[in-house]
Amino acid sequence: MHRVTYLGLAAHGLAFFRLFVPAGTPLALVPLLLQIVSSRIFSSK
């Protein structure tokens, strides 16, 4: 799983995280969503 994440970040930069934010999400919630997704990605084995 980490390889996919690293490859995605290498290929797309921080725009990679847009894949995890649903369209129409209020901007105030984006940092919270990215924190949740990031912690889930990097804490998985």
**Domain range list for the chain:** 2-43
Say how far apart CA 27 and CA 44 lie, in whole Å. 27
DSSP state of 12: H
pLDDT at 21: 83
- pTM to 2 decimal places: 0.51
pLDDT at 26: 93
pLDDT at 37: 79
pLDDT at 20: 78
Say how far apart CA 36 and CA 23 lie, in whole Å. 17
pLDDT along the chain (45 residues), means of 10: 81 83 89 83 68
pLDDT at 16: 83
